[in-house]
Structure 1
Amino acid sequence: MLPTKRVEPFAAKLHFIPRGIRPVQAALINAQRDYFSHAPGWVLLTTTGRRTGLPRETLLPCVRSDNDVYLISTYGWQSDWIRNLRKNPKVKVTCNGVVVAGHAKMIEALDRKTRIVGEHPFVPFAPFELVHAVALNPAMRPLLVAFLRRWVASRPMVVVRT
């Protein structure tokens, strides 16, 4: 059986943008730490740097279910946090103001990813409550789920067990 080549999303070509604004993002997160550590639909993920071994914190949109936190990488396999997780899956997550240790696992099976976004739809790129309220409206849910199933196909999904 031939190995399949991963298809990167178009956003992976734009990954230089978040890398370029990393200091600005870090300053924003530090200035608004209390808000982001309690914000619904967001998590502060702390990974271990794959080269330095230092803690690396990233603000990510998520959906929570029981003891699981689901994350999708907008920038595909190019995201630094994804690369860090592949080297060391031990993480810390800050959600609802609490820091807990967890273990990250990549979800690569398309059928499992589409099932998860069908059960737990979220708008991974919209931090605004109004956008979430409209997108998660029962009348809009089928459109959101259809979009997410297509969107998640070329992106890695991670489940963090806490």
Structure 2
Amino acid sequence: MPPTTRVEPFAAKLHFIPRSLRPVQAAIVNSQRDYFSHAAGWVLLTTTGRRTGLPRETLLPCVRSDNHIYLISTYGWQSDWIRNLRKNPKVKVTCNGEVVAGHGKMIEKLDDKIRIVSEHPFFAPAPFELVNAVALSPAMRPLLVAFLRRWVASRPVVAIRI
């Protein structure tokens, strides 16, 4: 359990919505698996269920660097994938059409989170190539980085080493 002094983002109060839509998301992912396993800005993350020990797959927006994938939890510490990863940091990721093993590390220090999103910005709420191209354009990049620096303050950032 995270310490009680952490401030959760407002979105954490809305976590019941994606939880209730889990079967719909699973159907979409399964029907479009080839697209999502190759799409820039997306990763299929497989964690181990913290209670069941079963594999749990989640589609998440991300940014990739040479040997890391960076994820930001929209729903803070309430996200099931975050809670699973805290219990067992060994994960599998499907990106660029390949499934690879990885190790997730929670980035909790604000300075470290700000450094990561400054070096590797991405528009997490809508990780589509066109949206990221506009958001990362020279005119918009400073605004995106400023938004991300504030946005990650109350959210865990995860670095998955692959």
Q: In 1, Cα distance between the equivalents of 2:130 and 2:68?
A: 25
Number of equivalent positions: 160
* Structure 2 counterpart of 1:108: 108
* Structure 2 counterpart of 1:133: 133
Give TM-score, length-normalised by structure 2: 0.97
Q: CA-to-partner distance for each residue in 1:15-46, whole Å, 9 max, x for gaps?
A: 00000000000000000000000000110000
* Structure 2: unaligned runs, 5 residues or longer: none
* Structure 2 counterpart of 1:121: 121
* 1:129 shift after superposition: 2.4
* Structure 2 counterpart of 1:61: 61
Aligned residue runs from structure 1 range 16-35, under 5 A: 16-35=16-35
Kept in 1: contact 2:62–2:127 (CA 8 A): no
Q: In 2, Cα distance between the equivalents of 1:86 and 1:132?
A: 29
* 1:130 shift after superposition: 2.2
CA RMSD of aligned residues (A): 1.0
* Structure 2 counterpart of 1:96: 96
Q: In 2, Cα distance between the equivalents of 1:77 and 1:111?
A: 19
* 1:157 shift after superposition: 0.4
Aligned residue type for 1:50: R
* Structure 2 counterpart of 1:79: 79
- Regions of 4+ moved over 2 Å: 127-130
* 1:4 shift after superposition: 7.1
Aligned residue type for 1:102: G
Q: In 1, Cα distance between the equivalents of 2:148 and 2:68?
A: 19
* Structure 2 counterpart of 1:43: 43
Q: In 2, Cα distance between the equivalents of 1:156 and 1:37?
A: 24
| Identical-pair percentage | 85
* Structure 1 counterpart of 2:148: 148
Per the alignment, in what secondary structure is the counterpart of residue 105 of structure 2?
Answer: strand
* 1:127 shift after superposition: 3.1
Q: In 2, Cα distance between the equivalents of 1:122 and 1:134?
A: 11
Aligned residue type for 1:21: L
* 1:13 shift after superposition: 0.2
Aligned residue type for 2:67: N
Kept in 1: contact 2:42–2:61 (CA 8 A): yes
Aligned residue type for 1:140: M
Aligned residue runs from structure 1 range 3-22, under 5 A: 5-22=5-22
Aligned residue type for 1:6: R
Q: In 2, Cα distance between the equivalents of 1:81 and 1:90?
A: 12
